[in-house]
Structure 1
Amino acid sequence: MNPLRRILSRRSLLAGATAAVAVTAAPAQAAPGAPAPAGGRRLRTGFERLAADGYAPLEGQRVGVVTNPTGITRDVRHVVDVMHGDDRVGLIAVFGPEHGFRGTAQAGGSEGRHDDPATGLPVYDTYLKNGEALAAIFSASGVDTVVFDIQDVGARFYTYIWTLYDCMEAARLAGKRFVVLDRPNPVTGRAALGPVLHKEFATFVGREPIAQAHGMTVGELARLFNGEFLTAPVPLETVRMTGWRRSDFYDASGLPWVPPSPNMPTPETALVYSGTCLFEGTNLSEGRGTTRPFELLGAEGIDGRWAAAANGLGLAGVRFREAYFAPTFSKFQGRTIGGVQLHVHDRVAFDPVRTGIGLLVTAKRVWGGFAWRPDHWIDKLTGSPRVRMMIDAGANTDEVVAGWREELAAFRRVREEYLLYR
């Protein structure tokens, strides 16, 4: 059965259960003297609302927090440090994802089991753990409630949302409550874009059939996971934000940006990432080892013809500059290579996934050395072999994008039921 058809068939069975357990914290007043954006709106994160409510949803609970360096307050204190210093919260454990709780590990790494030197709290490693193994960690930690507070970037293959998914399932297996503290999608929540994962290509860069750019917050994704994908719903509480609109980019939030991972240095990186991360599935550099990862792309032997071909596509909101750079690590380490740099001049019109496809199509056309990674990693990133096979067959950008139209429309219908913001 097609994955989206399976979603639609499960919806009537599980959506009611999700609605019954997904609750939101009561509204709270803004802190005195807090900065407000233009128009008088001030975004309040899930943590801000939780704290303003006196941590009521955590009262009498032994609490563990799944977080990383992005779990910070507006005045750049980490939420773990804040809760540890507040006797209204029974914080007894921290759970670190890929890159670790304090963020010291590179891609594909974690900090392992250790005691946090700042708080003395035990830190458990969740990276690449799921199911019964992760449930056993939650049980061993002694927590009653697992809290999730991590900044996402809006792309299906960014692994923190699958840490969320795995932790929800493990909490269910271990008989724990689950609380999500919501944060903004930095590239807006206007629309879902791109191909939908086919279930047979599920990995840690995509567990379930959602769109490549999902256009949801982590709180909304938690509701979607609970209603559509988990074996059975976990007791879920979603502490939603106030003051966030689906059209808001990250700079409208007034929040400081902390890189969610070493190669996500700015919100501008997040803006292009859901498209240009596809170059991880090729023999070209995706810009790792430079100060502009995912904005710089290239390889040895590429010259200005690629930028010219990409500009010739007339892609909305973006222009391409002929660029030369020498990555300090990863592909082509220490070697000068040629390629392009993306310059987004209209982020509202910009479509990152369509742009990523256009760049793949033109790279293959102008550079004879173009090749997919031998393990067909591109299929894991796009969610099926279709994009790779269509590009190999000579399809243009419009034809490749048209190939996922029906499955994307089906996902958008399902997604609509779990949105918290307008």
Structure 2
Amino acid sequence: MSHVRTGAERLAADPGLLPGDRVGLISNPTGVLPDLTPTLGALRAAGVPLTALFGPEHGMTGTAQAGFSEGDRIDPATGLPVFDTHFKDGEVLDEVVAASGVDTLVFDIADIGTRFYTYVWTMYDLLASAARLGLRFVVLDRPNPLGGLVTEGPLLDPAFASFVGRAPIPVRHGLTAGELALFVNRSLGADLRVIKAEGWRREMRFAETGLPWVMPSVNMPTLDTALVYPGTGLFEGTNMSEGRGTTRPFELVGAPYVDERFAPALNALGLPGVRFRETWFTPTFQKHAGTVVRGVQLHVHDPLAFRPVMTGLSMMHTVRTLYPEDLAWWGPDLFMDHLWGSDTLTRCLDAGEDPRTLCQEPARPEGELLYE
């Protein structure tokens, strides 16, 4: 089976695609070639003059939990300095990038096609730094594992911009990292280049790419996780467990107050492409750690028909209907509003209204699409 040639594979084969004498690589465990050779090693072997490394949330080796990183350190395999970028932006991030001494930043991290997944916003912040510091920025593009045809959820309201969403794109955005970089760079003005992924088409399922699935973060173990995440990731903003601390994060959703009505009510909705199985689980950390909770596991049987954001909203509406006194918002600064990208969802649910009316498929953000 042939495979999509990622930007990283193309660059490793032809290092002349990359300008620069002092190159900094922004990557994590997903930065690999199709044979699982790390991009870092492949580019060094090809003669790319790497002089610094940059780690996002979870760190360059992916050991840190959500909201954390690995800090500044020296990479033991190469001796290169690793600069921690997590939760740094503006002048603080500029100081980090300037201290690295690079003239070109290269981004090679797999995204999962959901606005509130943070790697593309690390890319955004570093792209903004590159613009301010006069550096080149190169994106080694990769397929969107959710495909590139379907979008779901509203565009982000700029008043709710944060590290889980900095630009007006939908929750399920249907873009590659390279396309998103081109879109946001219209206002940033960096010296940007995207090395395309050859052979990818917008309708392709990830299995058709011939590429290996490498877990992009500690709570994103499988493609099944990524498929449900645009919807069940919203439960991070509630007092329900989204399955963190289990082996099936985001596929499991539950709470101590859930009873036997939840699973049948969800299955009665007849949502496309998914069924719900009643289950019990005990999170080992985060919400309800050490407590047996009742809930459901999502079983996606038709990924093409499945609409994760509509499913997540339907689940939340069902919880609010069945347990109106129990469902509560969770996290600082009403985190749900930042996940959703506006306060329309919390206002809708607090008013007892059906949030599925908010999930009209939006127009794709205007910008250059690199793939057919």
TM-score interval, smaller chain? over 0.9
Paired letter, 1:272: V
Paired letter, 1:161: V
| Structure-2 residue corresponding to 1:421 | 371
1:14-413 paired onto structure 2 within 5 Å: 35-36=1-2, 42-53=3-14, 55-59=15-19, 61-86=21-46, 88-227=47-186, 229-230=187-188, 233-367=189-323, 368-373=325-330, 375-402=333-360, 408-409=362-363, 412=364
Q: Secondary structure at the match of 1:212?
A: coil
Measure the CA separation in 1 of the matches of 2:149 and 2:129. Answer: 31
Q: 1:253-272: CA deviations, max 9, x gaps?
A: 11111111100001110001
Q: In the alignment, is the contact (CA less than 8 A) between 2:56 and 2:86 conserved in 1?
A: yes
Q: In the alignment, is the contact (CA less than 8 A) between 2:161 and 2:338 conserved in 1?
A: yes
Paired letter, 1:387: L
Q: Secondary structure at the match of 2:171?
A: strand
Q: 1:138-179: CA deviations, max 9, x gaps?
A: 221111110000000111100001001001000111111000
Q: In the alignment, is the contact (CA less than 8 A) between 2:274 and 2:306 conserved in 1?
A: yes
Q: Secondary structure at the match of 1:321?
A: strand
Measure the CA separation in 2 of the matches of 1:377 and 1:237. Answer: 34
Paired letter, 1:338: R
Paired letter, 1:107: A
Measure the CA separation in 1 of the matches of 2:164 and 2:359. Answer: 21
Q: Secondary structure at the match of 1:195?
A: coil
Q: In the alignment, is the contact (CA less than 8 A) between 1:196 and 1:382 conserved in 2?
A: no
- Are residues 347 and 283 of structure 1, via their aligned partners in 2, closer, same or farther at CA, if it must alter by over 3 Å? same
Measure the CA separation in 1 of the matches of 2:121 and 2:13. Answer: 29
Measure the CA separation in 2 of the matches of 1:221 and 1:102. Answer: 24
Paired letter, 1:372: W
Measure the CA separation in 2 of the matches of 1:47 and 1:180. Answer: 9
1:397 to partner: Cα distance: 4.6
Measure the CA separation in 1 of the matches of 2:300 and 2:114. Answer: 18
1:205 to partner: Cα distance: 0.5
Measure the CA separation in 1 of the matches of 2:336 and 2:107. Answer: 29
Q: 1:166-196: CA deviations, max 9, x gaps?
A: 0100011111100000011111111221021
1:338 to partner: Cα distance: 0.2
Q: In the alignment, is the contact (CA less than 8 A) between 1:59 and 1:89 conserved in 2?
A: no
Paired letter, 1:193: E
Q: In the alignment, is the contact (CA less than 8 A) between 2:202 and 2:371 conserved in 1?
A: yes
Q: In the alignment, is the contact (CA less than 8 A) between 2:19 and 2:104 conserved in 1?
A: no
Paired letter, 2:174: G
1:60 to partner: Cα distance: 5.0
Structure 2, unpaired ranges of 5+? none
Say which structure is richer in helix.
Answer: 1
Worse-matched range after superposition: 304-313 or 340-349? 304-313
Structure 1, unpaired ranges of 5+? 1-34, 37-41
Normalising by structure 2, we get a TM-score of 0.96
1:100 to partner: Cα distance: 0.5
Q: In the alignment, is the contact (CA less than 8 A) between 1:97 and 1:160 conserved in 2?
A: yes
Worse-matched range after superposition: 162-171 or 384-393? 384-393
Paired letter, 1:281: G
Measure the CA separation in 2 of the matches of 1:419 and 1:391. Answer: 35
Q: Secondary structure at the match of 1:82?
A: helix
1:390 to partner: Cα distance: 1.0
Q: In the alignment, is the contact (CA less than 8 A) between 1:303 and 1:322 conserved in 2?
A: no
Measure the CA separation in 2 of the matches of 1:398 and 1:327. Answer: 29
1:132 to partner: Cα distance: 2.1
Normalising by structure 1, we get a TM-score of 0.85
Pairwise CA RMSD: 1.4
| Structure-2 residue corresponding to 1:9 | none
Q: Secondary structure at the match of 1:134?
A: helix
Paired letter, 2:157: H
- Are residues 315 and 61 of structure 1, via their aligned partners in 2, closer, same or farther at CA, if it must alter by over 3 Å? same
Q: In the alignment, is the contact (CA less than 8 A) between 1:84 and 1:119 conserved in 2?
A: no
- Are residues 397 and 202 of structure 1, via their aligned partners in 2, closer, same or farther at CA, if it must alter by over 3 Å? closer
Paired letter, 2:243: G
Q: Secondary structure at the match of 2:313?
A: helix
Give the length in aligned residue pairs: 370
Q: In the alignment, is the contact (CA less than 8 A) between 2:228 and 2:251 conserved in 1?
A: yes
